[in-house]
Amino acid sequence: MNFLEAKNLSQALDYRKEHPTYKLLAGGTDLCVLMNSGIIKPEGLISIWGLDELKQITEEGDVISIGALVTHSAVAQSGMIQKHIPVLGKACLTVGARQIQNRGTIGGNIMNASPAGDTLPVLLAYDATIEVSNTQGSRQIPFTEFYTGYRQTALKEDEMVTRILIKKPNQGEKADFIKIGTRKAQAISKVMACFRMQTQDDVITSFQAAYGSVAAIPVRVTALEEFLVGEKLEEKTIEEAIQITKDNLNPIDDIRSTADYRKHVCGVMVKRFLVTLLQS
């Protein structure tokens, strides 16, 4: 196997253009497993682990910029993330064990394109933007348009993910990330979700609900979001929200869980989020 090690972003993009069939190697926590199991047999690898310019979390006005090579541990420990998007840190702390969190990157979680990627529902709920680059420059792809199918992305063959951009939420917003797995630690998700809610005078003014591990790509439940806006948070509203969630999701059956179980749990998760807020 051919192995190239990029010293900087410019060199990485040159390598990417010259060798579009090579796989990019960052933390390797997903890629190495796929290679060892024989699922993929790349002609070559381009290591981008040493690109320090992609390991930064910065503020750019009302936007948080996260480099593609920021590890899950670094996201979770970032004061900036804890202040503005703590649920993203919470999601990162559910990715594998501590060793995986120390090595795995948020860009890798995105590019692995697994429906069970823990950070993906958070990025979807927060309307993140993915910056991708090649030797010609950079472009931005809304996260809602990033996945085109199961393990398929909108990237061109010479592009790579360089940054994740997330607009800071409004003050007073409530949010949570909920994961259901076979056990509490080191479990691939059966279902996971990220919810966001803003209220004014006890009336819901905005609501976002994103689920992962229920379809080929992470999904938003727009019918639920539209229903809740303008409603008061009360028991009747919550019961209707549960039913709307179930009616508008058609989960997958796979080795980890059944479609019926996933549909039931999706309703339980939105109930858990809303009931907690009602009782607070």
Give the integer Cα–Cα distance in Å for 197 and 15.
Answer: 43
pTM: predicted TM-score of the whole model, two decimal places: 0.95
Q: For strand 44-47 and strand 174-181, is the pairing parallel, antiparallel, or unpaired? A: unpaired
The per-type count for the chain, helices as H runs and strands as E runs, is: 11, 14
Which amino acid is residue 183, in one-letter code?
R
With DSSP H G I counted as helix, E B as strand and the rest as coil, what are the percentages for the chain, rounded to 5?
A: 35, 30, 35
**Residue 236 burial (10 A CB sphere; 0-12, 13-18, 19+):** exposed
pLDDT tens by residue, the chain, 280 residues: 899 999 999 999 999 999 999 999 999 998 998 999 999 999 999 999 999 999 999 999 999 999 999 999 999 999 999 999 999 999 999 998 899 999 999 999 999 999 889 999 999 999 999 999 999 999 999 999 999 999 999 999 999 999 999 999 999 999 999 999 766 666 677 899 999 999 999 899 999 999 999 999 999 999 999 999 999 999 999 999 999 999 999 988 877 789 999 999 999 999 999 999 999 8
Phi-psi region at 270: left, alpha or beta (left = phi > 0; alpha = psi -120 to 50): alpha
User: Taking the CA of residue 19 as centre, how many other CA atoms within 13 Å lie in the half-sphere pointing to its CB?
Assistant: 18
2-167 and 174-279 share one CATH topology? no
H or E element in which residue 180 lies: strand 174-181
CATH of domain 2-167: 3.30.465.10
Give the integer Cα–Cα distance in Å for 8 and 208.
Answer: 37
Task: Parse the chain into domains and list their residue ranges.
Answer: 2-167, 174-279
Spatial contact of 266 and 193, defined as CB atoms under 8 Å apart: yes
Smallest CA-to-CA distance from 92 within 120, 115, 112, 114 is with 120
Give the integer Cα–Cα distance in Å for 97 and 120.
Answer: 18
Give the integer Cα–Cα distance in Å for 139 and 117.
Answer: 23
Q: What is the second-level CATH architecture of the domain 174-279? A: 2-Layer Sandwich (3.30)
